[in-house]
Amino acid sequence: MSFAALTRLQQGLAALKADHLERRRLLLDGAQGAHVTIDGQRVVSFCSNDYLGLAADPALIAAAHAALDQCGVGAGAAHLISGHHRFHHDFETAFARFIGKPAALLFSTGYMANLAVLTVLVGRHGEIFADKLNHASLVDAARLSGARFSRYPHAELARLESQLAASPAQDKLIVSDLLFSMDGDVAPVDALLDLAERHDAWLYLDDAHGFGVLNEGRGGMSGRARASDRVIYLATLGKAAGVSGAVVAAHASAIDGLIQKARPYIYTTAAPPLLAACLLESLRQIEAGAARRERLRSHIGQMRRGLAGLALGKLMDSDTPIQPLVIGANADAVRVSQALLPHGLLVPAIRTPTVPAGTARLRITLSAAHSAADVAQLVEALHDLD
Ligand X SMILES: *Cc1c(COP(=O)(O)O)cnc(C)c1O
Contacting positions for ligand X (CB under 6 A) = 109-111, 114, 135, 137, 177, 181, 206, 208-209, 236, 238, 246
Closer to ligand X by CB, 240 or 280: give it.
240
**Residue 246 CB, nearest distance to ligand X (Å)?**
5
Closer to ligand X by CB, 113 or 147: give it.
113
The sign of the dihedral angle between the CA atoms of 341, 347, 348, 353 is: negative
**Residue 185 CB, nearest distance to ligand X (Å)?**
13
Instruction: Return the DSSP state at 36.
Output: E
Helices and strands counted in the chain (H then E): 14, 15
**Residue 245 CB, nearest distance to ligand X (Å)?**
7
φ, ψ at 7 (rounded to 5°): -60, -45
**Residue 105 CB, nearest distance to ligand X (Å)?**
14
CB 113 within 8 A of CB 104: no
Closer to ligand X by CB, 238 or 344: give it.
238
**Residue 155 CB, nearest distance to ligand X (Å)?**
15
**Residue 121 CB, nearest distance to ligand X (Å)?**
16
DSSP states of 324-372 as a string? EEEEESHHHHHHHHHHHGGGTEE--EE-TTTS-TT-EEEEEE--TTS-H
The sign of the dihedral angle between the CA atoms of 98, 104, 109, 114 is: negative
Closer to ligand X by CB, 50 or 206: give it.
206
**Residue 110 CB, nearest distance to ligand X (Å)?**
2
With DSSP H G I counted as helix, E B as strand and the rest as coil, what are the percentages for the chain, rounded to 5? 45, 20, 35
Closer to ligand X by CB, 109 or 337: give it.
109
Angle at 173 between CA 233 and CA 50, to 5 degrees: 30
Residues 6+ positions from 315 with CB-CB distance below 8 Å: 304, 307, 308, 323, 324, 325, 326
Rounded Cα–Cα distance for residues 314 and 306 (Å): 12
**Residue closest to ligand X, measured at CB:** 110
Closer to ligand X by CB, 246 or 270: give it.
246
Closer to ligand X by CB, 359 or 365: give it.
365
